[in-house]
Amino acid sequence: MSRTTQHPKDSSFNFRIDPALKAAFTHAADAADTPAAQLLRDFMRDFVRRREDMAFEAEARRQSLAAAEQMRDAKSDAHAALQESEALFDADHFADVWKA
């Protein structure tokens, strides 16, 4: 069977697996006309991507909470900027822009 990817193999990943699971997975891979090794690589890439996405979301959440905390601190520049913005919106200087 010829290689389905341009990427050379760099290393192996050996692990033990229940024989029934291996047989079922091999059967499913054959039915999908996809090499089992390719499916495992795809699963691994997907798992890594999901973990990276979770880490990104956690950091975004942390930064958002930190920014919100700064805005609640009456002595911070962020709080002052928020107050100025609220005053501008309260003055309704943008009413014509937002009317449909």
pLDDT at position 47, please? Answer: 97
**What separation in angstroms does the CA of 41 have from each of 16, 35, 70, 88?**
16, 10, 43, 54
7-24 average pLDDT score: 89
pLDDT at position 97, please? Answer: 66
pLDDT at position 31, please? Answer: 97
pLDDT at position 89, please? Answer: 76
Q: Which of 43, 33, 39, 36 is nearest to 22 (CA)?
A: 36
pLDDT at position 5, please? Answer: 63
Question: pLDDT tens digits for 17-73?
Answer: 999 999 999 999 999 999 999 999 999 999 999 999 999 999 999 999 998 888 788
Structure tokens at 27: 């059967």
DSSP 17-44: --HHHHHHHHHHHHHTT--HHHHHHHHH
What are the residue boundaries of the structural domains of the chain, listed by start? 37-98
